[in-house]
Amino acid sequence: MSIYYAYKYRPAGQIYDQTTKKVVGEYYGVTNWDWYGLVIFNVITYFFYGMIKNCILDGQTPHTTLDIFGMNLATQFLLCFTRYAWYIYLILPGYVVFKLLGYAWGYIARTNDKNAAE
């Protein structure tokens, strides 16, 4: 409800200096992008929480899903203080490449037991 109140009664605008009438700060209030972000966060949280729950019920350890879920929660928390927290999501493509290269290296660097014994 608080996001709706802020959207309806505290529209986004610039912060002005009272004496010089110059723009001195970033935007305040809630914009349409905040609503889009709310939908994105809810979808990601719901999806990865379900994956973590299924891994635990199957007796497995949720490695990658727990990392992405934690990154999502950290972004949500930091968005309370700054809008630059969205840049945390830029870490995700690098993390995916790192994980894929790790899997590929494990496959490429595998040795046969016959060759290692000789």
80 compared with 42, residue with greater pLDDT: 42
Q: Which of 85, 69, 87 is nearest to 77 (CA)?
A: 85
Question: Ranked by mean pLDDT, which of 13-17, 53-57, 64-68 comes out on top?
Answer: 53-57
Segment 13-29 shows an average pLDDT of: 71
What pLDDT, on a 0 to 100 scale, did the predictor assign at position 93? 85
| Separation CA 79–CA 5 (nearest Å) | 18
